[in-house]
Amino acid sequence: MNQLPRIERFLTLANKLLHIFIALALLAASVLVIAQFIVQAWQTVEAGSYARGFLTALGNLFVLWILSSLISAEVRWLKTGIFDVLVFIEVALITLLRQLVILPVELGHDLKNWAWAYGLITFAILAVGIVYFLMQRQPPPPVEDPL
């Protein structure tokens, strides 16, 4: 029974190290997205297709926003040990908004598919928005340490 606290400390340390690794991987992904944004902006200027390039670049900024939210959640977890599930709902909402913005670039000029895709994404945004609103309204239950 004396080994249990030692194992618990080891697992807690390992978990913190894993979260630090995740945060660093998210940071590396953010740097790559920034680099991709710069390259796409340059290619847009060279090609002269500003509307399409702007929408694609805006899609990259939405990805950067997602990565920023996840990094903030990791930092919060490392500081407090509390991870808020609301972050994943925010990420889902941002992802759907990104999809709404870049849809014209992906679908081209097919109006029939546009209407269908915009309808589905709008419905999904509404559903996720309602879940976000309901979870935001209700204060989280107190967390008790089981050990």
∠ CA 68-50-62, nearest 5°, is: 15
Distance CA 103, CA 139 (A): 35
pTM over the 0.85 mark: no
> Which residue shows structure tokens 């990094």?
71
The token pair at 119 is 């309808």
Full pLDDT tens readout for the chain, 147 residues: 567 788 888 998 998 899 899 999 999 999 999 999 999 888 888 888 787 788 888 888 899 999 999 999 998 888 888 888 889 999 999 999 988 888 877 766 666 777 788 889 999 999 999 999 988 876 666 666 555
